[in-house]
A and B are shown apart, each in its own frame.
Chain A
Amino acid sequence: MAEFFAMGGYAQFLWPSYALAILALVVNVIVARRHLAAARSEARRRLEVRAGDAE
């Protein structure tokens, strides 16, 4: 196991590379979902304003 993590002496270069790539994969999903949630609540607000105008 220790040998695996040592990566033949390249650990200090290899693991940060993998960590960054995985971070990018995770962050982009979170950001996209937040954008969608924000767009939905903003659209809902727009609808409510319009419904209020109609009355």
Chain B
Amino acid sequence: MDWTWFHKFGSPPHVYRLAGRLTPWFAWPAAITILIGLYGGLVLAPPDYQQGDGFRIIYVHAPSAWLSVMIYTTMASAAFVGLVWRMKVAHAVAASCAGIGAWFTAVSLVTGMLWGKPMWGTYWVWDPRLTAQLILLFLFFGYMALRAAIDDPSRADRASALLAVVGIVNVPIIRFSVDWWNSIHQAPSVMKLGRPTMPVDMLVPLLLMLLGFTLYFVAVLTIRLRAEVLRRERQASWLREVLD
């Protein structure tokens, strides 16, 4: 097997250039998909027969919640690769994820509260799904605080990576909390076996928003990754090349 591609992904100048080239290819499709999704969700989708127009919060809530879990999984996987293969670029990917992940975890929590108030009659309950999502926010904060607290970059990488990897146990808990416990949170209506329980004109905008948020994350990740790779690099030869 040809392993050169693997070594390329470990090479900072290659990753820096590749990430820079990829950014527009994710940013523009993300912008277009999100705009169409917003229009579909706010205008084209019919009101829900139980929740009226209130259900439209799903078009920002579900993509944020999906992104928060997806970003954590990316972060923990990259951290694991960094720990096991001592790959600097993998640690840079993990470090780039944390801030974005914390933001979208917070958005999912707050939009969930704003949805919960009219539908459940309360902003917050200590429900398994909600509690696990709050723990996810603290995991992101903990990861960032740990990195900030350790001055030596490679020690910060390893310590924070360990936290990220251990924290992955929270991800299946979030995912399956609505099945394992008697949760107030509704069961998934898209990502489940068999057919989704939503009419098509409600479902398509949601799928577009999920796709758009995912593309958006990759776009922002490529920008942050370039910053992380630059910050870590001490070798002058390629720095001079990419900075001019």
Contact = CB atoms under 8 A, between A and B. Distances in A.
A33 to B, nearest CB: 6
B239 A17 contact: no
Interface stretch (B77-85, B138-146, B170-178, B219-227): B219-227
Interface stretch (B100-108, B155-163, B194-202): B100-108
Contacts of A35: 223-224, 227
Contacts, number: 101
A38 B227 contact: yes
- Contact-residue size bin, chain A (C-beta under 8 Å from the other chain): 20 to 34
B45 to A, nearest CB: 12
Contacts of B227: 32, 35-36, 38-39
Interface of B (DSSP majority class): helix
A26 to B, nearest CB: 11
Contacts of A8: 47, 52-54
Nearest to A37: B227
A9 interface: yes
B239 A10 contact: no
A10 B230 contact: no
Contact of A46 (B53, B110, B117, B239): B239
B107 A14 contact: no
A54 B52 CA distance: 70
B239 A24 contact: no
Contact of A47 (B104, B111, B243): B243
6 contacts: A17-B111, A17-B114, A31-B99, A40-B230, A43-B230, A43-B239
Interface of A: 4, 7-10, 13-14, 16-18, 20-21, 24-25, 27-29, 31-33, 35-36, 38-40, 42-44, 46-47, 50
